Structure 1
Amino acid sequence: MKRLLLIASFVFGTLGTVAAQQTSPVWPGCEDSEDVKACFNQKLSQHVKENYEYPQNDAGEYVRGKVTIKFEVDEKGKVNVLNIEGNEPLVNEAAKKMIKKMPKMEPGKLQGEVDAREFTVSYKF
């Protein structure tokens, strides 16, 4: 029983250490934030509100739809669109343009080394 408790303590202690050594990408303006992840999410929401442009069809009507966007912040802090899924091609393209307008950021780190981080977000436009 003591052995099992010791093993469990080691495993959970190690997981906590790894999580503590992982940092998120830092959006410009979030450098001094106490909670970089929360600041990142707030800046992303603001970016979507300010940069998404509703597409129009041939009749001039705004096209709406749901999209799931997968993007990464690479080792150099550049944002790359990996995949966009949705039923409306015009909405997909507008979402792609919006993500491409995201600023370069400080990349995330894992155990002190920069690494790419992937994000998946869904929106109803």
Structure 2
Amino acid sequence: MKNIFLLVLLFIGFGAFAQDDVSVKGNKVSMKETAPVWPGCEASEDTKACFNSMLMKHIKENYKYPKNENGEYIRGKATISLVVNEEGKVVVKEVTGKHPKINKEAKRMIEAIPEMVPGQLAGKPRAISYKIPLTF
């Protein structure tokens, strides 16, 4: 009777600690990481390509070129460090660039990205970091 009880507990233990998207081969443990999914890309076969195209579309539609004191458009580069958190919201960590007005506008534009399906690691929501260089 004790052996059957121990066997049942063993199977319950394995089932309780099993994780999706985790594989163990020898002494290697692999966990599958999935990227965040942009709204409207859920049914796409290549969600990464869809994410990239939707991000570029968002940038083209939402970036407003700032002007200098003479009324001329300012052009330049900015690098944006951002995180898509566990809730799928975009959080800008840092914007670096030569022109403060471009940096401010780039931050505003990235913060306007819609909430998305968060990235996952081993089937659990996870924050995913990105660094995006942009030339305006």
Interval containing the TM-score (normalised by the shorter chain): 0.7 to 0.9
Which whole-Å CA distance do the structure 2 matches of 1:51 and 1:71 have between them? 17
Equivalent residue in structure 1 for 2:120, among 102, 105, 109: 109
Equivalences for residues 23-102 of structure 1 within 5 A? 23-102=34-113
Shift of 1:57: 1.0
Equivalent residue number for residue 20 of structure 2: none
Shift of 1:22: 1.0
| Residues matched between the structures, number | 112
Q: RMSD in angstroms over aligned alpha carbons?
A: 1.4
**Aligned amino acid, residue 66 of structure 2:** P
Which whole-Å CA distance do the structure 1 matches of 2:26 and 2:74 have between them? 53
**SS of equivalent to 2:94:** strand
Equivalent residue in structure 1 for 2:132, among 104, 121, 124: 121
Shift of 1:44: 0.4
Where do 5+ consecutive residues of structure 2 fail to align?
1-24
**Aligned amino acid, residue 79 of structure 1:** V
TM-score by length of 1: 0.85
**Aligned amino acid, residue 39 of structure 1:** C
Which whole-Å CA distance do the structure 2 matches of 1:32 and 1:23 have between them? 15
Structure with the higher helix share, 1 or 2: 1
TM-score by length of 2: 0.78
Which whole-Å CA distance do the structure 2 matches of 1:58 and 1:101 have between them? 26
Which whole-Å CA distance do the structure 1 matches of 2:103 and 2:39 have between them? 26
Which whole-Å CA distance do the structure 1 matches of 2:135 and 2:118 have between them? 28
Which whole-Å CA distance do the structure 1 matches of 2:35 and 2:128 have between them? 8
